[in-house]
Chains A and B, each alone.
Chain A
Amino acid sequence: AQKVTQAQTEISVVEKEDVTLDCVYETRDTTYYLFWYKQPPSGELVFLIRRNSFDEQNEISGRYSWNFQKSTSSFNFTITASQVVDSAVYFCALSEVRGGGADGLTFGKGTHLIIQP
């Protein structure tokens, strides 16, 4: 069965520091998709990135970057020069194609990131 592990329950850093959130996944499928979502204190879920299992290129979007390594089954997320507005809970998620074709998301338990001013 699929599983997503976010070992860091909570991380606290001072503003402007770089921070990396770890995500390790387990799946028996060769085709799967990985996601990161942000949940700010207001509670909504904000989609950040999607990556398919055939694309191991790292991605950078502004201060955000993602490192996908199939060899270690990891999909880590780095925030460069963190800001207070980055404070949130971040979820890593995995999507497989189930027997019926539906692709439910399996979420990690989340990492609570606290950026101190």
Chain B
Amino acid sequence: EAQVTQNPRYLITVTGKKLTVTCSQNMNHEYMSWYRQDPGLGLRQIYYSMNVEVTDKGDVPEGYKVSRKEKRNFPLILESPSPNQTSLYFCASSLSAGTGWEPQHFGDGTRLSIL
């Protein structure tokens, strides 16, 4: 089954404690991205990757890091989480970048709470 898998689904942690949210897709997609969803703001893109070892900032990259060492994985790293990063996070992938023809497939979301 084609899917985007995020882990964990829920996490409560404390300020400053490094965390990683994993994202994996089994569709051999080139393009992957991370979004955060906040009440009243919709979804905003954090980072995206057009292919292995190619990453770039989205609209709200501050406080986040990503890596793309393998095609299937695109982890989101919070080196020193802060309460303003409490949010619902979505990973997405699509076949290729630059066309828009392929809809992005979204994971089920990760709800992070930073105390």
Query: Which residues of B sit under 8 angstroms from A91, Cβ to Cβ?
Result: 42-43
Q: Are B100 and A97 in contact (CB under 8 A)?
A: yes
Query: Which residues of B sit under 8 angstroms from A43, Cβ to Cβ?
Result: 88, 108-109, 111
Q: A-side binding surface: helix, strand, loop or mixed?
A: strand
CA distance A37 to B59 in the complex (A): 20
Return the contact of A97 from the options B41, B58, B92, B98 (Cβ within 8 A): B98
Q: Which of A12-20, A57-65, A72-80, A103-111 touches B?
A: A103-111
Report if B29 contacts A (CB, 8 A). no
Return the contact of B100 from the options A103, A107, A110 (Cβ within 8 A): A103
Contacts A107-B42, A107-B43 given; does A102 touch B98 at CB 8 Å: yes
Q: Are A103 and B90 in contact (CB under 8 A)?
A: no
Q: Which of A50, A96, A103, A106 has the most chain B CB atoms closer than 10 A to its own CB?
A: A103
Contacts A50-B100, A50-B103, A97-B100 given; does A104 touch B90 at CB 8 Å: no
Q: B-side binding surface: helix, strand, loop or mixed?
A: strand
Give the A-B pair count, Cβ closer than 8 A: 72
Q: Which of B50, B94, B97, B103 has the most chain A CB atoms closer than 10 A to its own CB?
A: B103
Q: Are B50 and A102 in contact (CB under 8 A)?
A: yes
Give a binary string over B63-84; 1 marks a CB under 8 Å from any A CB, 0 the rest: 0000000000000000000000
Query: Which residues of B sit under 8 angstroms from A97, Cβ to Cβ?
Result: 98-100
Closest 4 CB pairs of A and B: A101-B98, A33-B100, A107-B42, A45-B106
B residues with a Cβ closer than 8 A to A are 31, 33, 35, 40-45, 48, 50, 56, 58-59, 88, 90, 92, 94, 97-101, 103-106, 108-109, 111
- Given contact pairs A37-B106, A103-B100, a sample of 9 additional A-B residue pairs in the complex whose CB atoms are under 8 Å apart: A33-B101, A43-B111, A44-B108, A47-B105, A91-B42, A100-B97, A102-B48, A102-B56, A102-B98
Q: Pick 19 A–B contacts, CB within 8 A, sort by A.
A: A33-B100, A33-B101, A35-B103, A44-B108, A45-B106, A52-B100, A93-B43, A96-B100, A100-B56, A101-B50, A102-B31, A102-B48, A102-B97, A103-B94, A103-B100, A104-B58, A107-B42, A107-B43, A107-B44
